[in-house]
Amino acid sequence: MKQALFCAALILAAALSFLFSPPPQTPDEFWGLYIPLGERAGFILNKDSYGYIQAAEEPGRLLRQSEERQSRPLYVLLGTAVGYPLRAVLPVFVREQAVT
């Protein structure tokens, strides 16, 4: 159990460290929008992320015949599993409008 907690903490620390990497210098270094989280932190929201966000908000979309996200359903389902509880806990950060 201790080893599993250590590994989880190590993975979380590594993932959080990416928030403190420097922002892209030019727009052609990335394909998306840089979202700052204060002066020293931020992340890149890729242009294809909106499709995953929409599918996570409405997981039934995975059952549509021509849905693009069917090839990676775990991304959608993990986003749904994390997003719905966070929506209840952090209502201040949740906009009621759907992502476009």
**Which pLDDT belongs to residue 14?**
92
Q: Where are the domains of the chain?
A: 1-44, 48-100
**Which pLDDT belongs to residue 93?**
57
pLDDT tens digit string along 4-55?
899 999 999 998 888 888 888 877 777 888 888 888 888 888 888 888 888 8
The residues pairing with 42 across neighbouring beta strands, listed in sequence order, are 36
- As a residue count, the chain comes to 100
Which candidate, 29, 25, 23, 26, places its Cα nearest to that of 43? Answer: 23
Q: How far is CA 82 from the centre of its chain?
A: 10
d(CA 92, CA 11): 28
* Higher per-residue confidence, 88 vs 65: 65
52, 44 Cβ separation under 8 angstroms? no
**pTM here?**
0.60
